[in-house]
Each structure stands twice: as C-alpha cells, then as structure tokens.
Structure 1
C-alpha cells in the first residue's frame, strides 16, 4: 500500500478549486501561457506550414474552405494547450477543449479539435509508468451519467480505465484515485500503469447541461523532486510545433475516412478502443450533402443507452455552433417520438421540429453519433441509426408524428442551452 505523501513529495500543482471545477486559476494561467507560446518564432512558422499543408491535402469545398480559418485557429491553440502539459514529472490537470472566452482582459482562443463531443469536458494529465500519482477530486451534486478516466499510451491506445460513475466516493463527495504499476492491493480506485502509460484522458460527459456537474480534480506526483529540469521555452516551442502537425494530420485522416463513404449514408455502427475512441461506446458516423430545400433526417433507436448525442462538425474537426445554435442534441435535449424513437432533422433551415440540429448555414457536414451506458447485456437488438434526405416541402407528410415547436419554444430552447453551457464556461464567450 502506498504511504501518504511525505515532506519530500513533489508539490501538487494546485488543489481542486472549490469555486469552479474547470475555470480554475491554474487553468487560466495555463491558457495565458499557451497564448504567449503562439508568438514564438518556431510556433509561428509551424502555424503557417501546417495551414499550407492541410489546405493542400484537404480538397475542401468552397463552403468548408470558408470555415477553415476559424477552425484552424482552434485546432492549433488546442495543440499549444495540450503540449504545455506533457511533463509527467510536473503533472497538471488541464482542460483541453473549450470555447473562446476572456481571461484577464485577453481573448483565450477556442480549443476544439478532433471532432469533439460538445457534451464533454475533456481534461488531460501526463503520466509516466515509472512514477506514482494521486488524483484527488470531488463529485458535484449533479452526478454524471458517463465519466471515464482513461489511461492512454502514446498512440491513444487504452492501458487501463476507471469508470468514474461507479468508482468509490466518500460521503462528502470526495474521492482518491491511485496510479502506479503495482496491483490494487485493496485500493478501491486504482489505475494500474505500465511502461507504456503516457497520459490520462478524462471525459466528464454532461447529459443535462443544466444539472450535471464536472468533477473537481487535482493531481500530485509522489516521490522526490524531479530529476530533470522542465523544458526550456525553445524546447516547448518545438514540442508544440510537432503537436500542431500531428493534430492536423490526425483530423485530416478522420475527415478523409468520412469522405470516402457515400454522402447521406448513416447506418454503420462500430465500437473501438484505439485512436482516441472510448471503450464500450457505439459510434455511428457519416456525412450529409444537401441541395437547397432539403434536410437530412436521422432516425434513432438508442438500444437502451442512457446517453447518446448527435453532433455536427466540419471537415477541420471542430464542432459547429453549440452555444447559440443547436449544433448538437443529446438524449436529455431531445424530444422522443410517441413510440420512444428519436427523429432529428439536420440542415440550415429551421423546419419547426423539436429536434432540429442546426447546420449553421452549411449544406454539408459530418455526423458522429455516440451511444453509451447500456445495460449489463449491452445494446438491445433494436439499436439503430439511419439517415435519409427529405425535401422540406414534404417534411410534414414524411414526418407526421414528429414533435413540433413554435418560434417562442425555439427561443426558450436556445436560452436554456446557453444557460446550461455557461455552467462549465463561467467566464462567458467572446
């Protein structure tokens, strides 16, 4: 059994902020450091080179090309944020996927990338299999339906997973996760590392944005002071430049895979445990391509999943407007059909249905439906998701039983959405 941290243990990089689980002083300090890093000559050169290469490979449509600059800004900033917290001897808890927001009078860029899930607060902690760590935290009053601490290798392959929904939590909501290469030996929330262990990828998935609370988290490496110095500014710039290229390459391959499939085909369900996919989730991926006056209709039977979400993204890997528009809808945000199934209408024009996923003016895009938290026997046999193109003029005839909303109800839906999102982004958007 590990002993309590002694006086020569490495100092934790800040305890969990009781004021807010995500917008901590440490997070803000980290984001400002990432902004400053963008001005380094090495990073600026990589920024320009990666943009040229990515645009040359993508063969983007004019509509997608118009979205490149804003999306590229986010993907590159996420690389800076992530790469700044990659020293396993000096670990921090860093949120790596956020919308743009103000900090100390400066605009912190958005950091979405890799076709993120808009319901998820993503955080990372660098890990070495040769070290011992303690992750301390506290759950909120609104306990999440889905929450996983995934220990990855350097290639996003799963080394071990702790189910945060089912982990041991004290009566006061606090919890302790131990991380090292030893067996659990009675430790209730133990994650066993290996020489391949590289980092934690923590998903706090918010099903009900108005109720669910991300966990408060902090990390401490146990043992003596680090044996090597931290990176110099130039070394960090080189690491960030490499991650910028990796992020663009990774996202480009995702989009290329989507665009090799026929448009408006949405019926392939798969499970994965590599390249960043979450173990025990079902993914349904595809793309839509519409003409004027058309919508893409998706019919879903969730197979008993407690959680699912239907988000849209562009080919650059950033999700569409999820704050001021319904660029995604999850199970809690959706209205079921009378038979318990769900129908979504996707497109740039509001069709007046309850489950409209707003494509933000785009007639093309990528869908990545995710389903999770099935019963013990896994998905029920009726699990399905399929898509079809429908003329808006025929929508009432094609979807006679699908729930509708008034203009006032749509406004109320968006007001509730913004208020819910602000609970994880108290700084506000900019």
Structure 2
C-alpha cells in the first residue's frame, strides 16, 4: 500500500526546512532556546538525556509548520513525523505538542476572504476518527467537518469547498470567515497496519497570487518566532500535568455535567516511579470507540513509538481475561502484554484520551483508576493479564515497527 503522506509538496517543504535549519540565524535561536529551556525546566538525568534528541524534533517541527503559512500558495503538509530519510537527506523528526502516535497532523494555510477546494480520497478500512478543523489565529474553531460525514463518490473520492458562503447544495462544505487562517487536519490511525490516512490536495480558486512569495530571510524569521512560541507553550501545557500529584490518574466522569456534551475526554498527569515499581491504570471506556494512552517527555514529544510500546490504543491493547482494560507503566519489562514502556524514563507525562462515543457523549462508566504496585507482585496484582516471554515481546515490537513503516516510507 502507498504512503499518502509522501507527496511532492511534503518532500519540497522538508527539503526547504533542512535549509532553514542550517541557517546561522536559526542556529543562533536554537542555541538560545536550548539554554533557556534547560534553565527553566531543570530536568533530572533521564529527561536531560531525552532532551538531546527530542529538542531537535521540537525545532524541526517549528520550522516545517512555519514554512506552510502562505494562504495564496497553500499546500498540505504533515507537521508531526518521526525521523526518516528523504533521498540522501536525514530528515529530523517533527513531533511536538504532546503528539498522538496514532495521529497524522496536516495543516493548510487559509485566507478567510479566499475560496478553496480540498480534494482527496478515503481509503478502506475507513478511519475511526478524522476531522477537518478550520482555525483562527488563536487556534479557536471557525468551523469543523467530521470526516465520517464526507460524501464520497464510488471510488472513495471527495471534494470539500471552503468559502464564506452558505453550503447550498454542495455535498461537502466548510464555512470560512475573515478570522480563518488555517486548516488543522487530524487523521487518527488505530490499526497501524491496515488503515491509511486520506489522500489530500488543496487548490486556491482565486487565480494567480497577488503578493510575492516570502523571502528566505522572512521564512527564517518566522521559524525563529514559532520555535520561541512553541517552547513556551510546551512549558505551559506541561504545568497542567506537573501541578497534579504524581501517579494520580483517578477520574470518573459525571455524565450530567462535564460529560453531557463532550465527544472527547482528556486526562493529563505525570508519573514518577522507582525501578522496581509500576503504575497500574485501570480504564473504563464509557462507550468510547477510541482510547489512547501515550507517554511523553518534558519536551512535549513522544519517545520511541516505533520499536517500543510507549503508547497503546484499543487495537494494540489486549483486554484481561476478566474483560477489563489494564495498563502498566514501568521502566523494566513487567512481562505482560499491556506494558507502557517508559523508554528508560523514571518520570514522564501522560494524556489519556477517550473519543468517538457511539451516542455522541460518554456513558456514565467512563473513568480511570491508578495506583503504584511493586513489579514483584504482578502475579497477585494482575492475575488476569496476558503474560509474555522475551521472545513474544520481541515479536510484538517487530509487528509494531512493521505496521508503522509506511508512514516514513519514500
């Protein structure tokens, strides 16, 4: 199967992003923010080690996103990818913003006074979750189209018209406004091996651009500004998790209040474990067709999501023999299938996420309970969990890596 991410525009933007990365002015800002962030965060040894690779991703994520901001020359660009090769180039990862390993995030710049058409094709099996969200300059929603409602032709193709007019008799429409600046498109891949994100392209309908393209100097300046913002935003988001007690993910939704109209539920927190401990999390799905538990570091990125089980979704989780969903976070392999591998970090952040409720809102049972256990007590604490041998773990990891490979294939 092909890779819908690997488009001519994607390759062009990644190549230009490498040029911006190596510009001396960009390198100066990278060094400045590096010192600033380490001073502010004061990380422990494991998080400091993670910084040496993950900061590079935060940097490249800012560059690649900032390059695709011209609404007269819009492109569909994926902004959060793992490190990969592009011809002879090593392309850094661009994960940032507490990324979801299941999600492919793509952006399209928009001018609210312009008219556009987004063309694409839906692959089978169809994605559980896919949203075309039109943002204003503050990431507020102007309009949103749920991908499940797309009207398709017999080949799975579609057109989405984007303008400030009424929908009229058009099958697929996103209503723009003067405040609109960007599409943020999120395709959530739950079965990594079988599912593929939508093919996407964008056409501006207003004729030739009226303004000249940004100079390279301006592109460097925009990338510098975005990196500065993103570092500060990461620290602000982290505070939402770090201000809570460690290892506390206990939560039960009140369907009559906070659950009544919500179609997504997020629970942020952080863990801090000794080498012989694990954080046991029991999850109640509450009717969610999508659930994810990813581990992130202080720098706002996931860790090794390809070769290690540092995130698990419902298609990767195996229910315990009693039907319950239980996960275990730990440094050492506990010998159970549902291991959230902390990737050598004794501490880290997690954002549990429930979504796609059958009736548009969660059932009363949605929630989570957590507690710290000793790994030596797993047989007693998790009697219903599927146990795995080292050979079975290797096979689990190999299947995971194989199922991810299409996303970074040329």
Range of TM-score over shorter length: over 0.9
Match of 2:132 in 1: 149
Match of 2:199 in 1: 216
Residue 85 (str. 1) matches residue 68 (str. 2)? yes
Match of 1:397 in 2: 380
Question: More deviation in 335-344 or 115-124?
Answer: 335-344
Match of 1:174 among 144, 157, 160: 157
Aligned length: 403
- Cα offset, 1:374, TM superposition: 0.2
Which whole-Å CA distance do the structure 1 matches of 2:337 and 2:139 have between them? 37
The answer to whether the 8 Å contact 1:101/1:110 transfers is: yes
Match of 2:300 among 310, 317, 321: 317
Match of 1:254 among 228, 234, 237: 237
Match of 1:267 among 237, 242, 250: 250
SS of the aligned residue for 2:180 comes to coil
Which whole-Å CA distance do the structure 2 matches of 1:362 and 1:81 have between them? 28
SS of the aligned residue for 2:203 comes to strand
SS of the aligned residue for 1:298 comes to strand
Residue 163 (str. 1) matches residue 146 (str. 2)? yes
User: Taking structure 1 as reference, are residues 127 and 331 closer, same or farther at Cα in structure 2, changes over 3 Å only?
Assistant: same
The answer to whether the 8 Å contact 1:269/1:285 transfers is: no
Match of 2:4 among 21, 28, 45: 21
Which whole-Å CA distance do the structure 1 matches of 2:175 and 2:145 have between them? 10
Which whole-Å CA distance do the structure 1 matches of 2:336 and 2:149 have between them? 36
Q: What is the CA deviation profile of residues 70-114 of structure 1, one whole-angstrom value per residue up to 9, with x for unaligned ones?
A: 111000101100000000110000001111111121100000001
The answer to whether the 8 Å contact 2:253/2:366 transfers is: no
Which whole-Å CA distance do the structure 2 matches of 1:182 and 1:377 have between them? 28
User: Normalising to structure 1: TM-score of the pair?
Assistant: 0.91
Question: More deviation in 239-248 or 21-30?
Answer: 21-30
RMSD of aligned C-alpha atoms? 1.5
Ranges in structure 2 where 5+ consecutive residues have no aligned partner: 255-261
SS of the aligned residue for 2:6 comes to coil
Match of 1:411 in 2: 394
Match of 1:120 in 2: 103
Match of 2:51 in 1: 68
Which whole-Å CA distance do the structure 2 matches of 1:305 and 1:257 have between them? 24
Which whole-Å CA distance do the structure 1 matches of 2:376 and 2:394 have between them? 23
Give every structure 1 segment of 4 or more consecutive aligned residues whose post-TM-superposition deviation is greater than 3 Å: 268-271
User: Taking structure 1 as reference, are residues 112 and 282 closer, same or farther at Cα in structure 2, changes over 3 Å only?
Assistant: same
- Cα offset, 1:144, TM superposition: 0.6
Match of 1:369 among 326, 335, 352: 352
- Cα offset, 1:195, TM superposition: 1.2
Question: More deviation in 94-103 or 395-404?
Answer: 395-404
Residue 287 (str. 1) matches residue 270 (str. 2)? yes
- Cα offset, 1:269, TM superposition: 6.9
Which whole-Å CA distance do the structure 2 matches of 1:235 and 1:268 have between them? 46
The answer to whether the 8 Å contact 1:336/1:342 transfers is: yes
Which whole-Å CA distance do the structure 2 matches of 1:231 and 1:268 have between them? 48
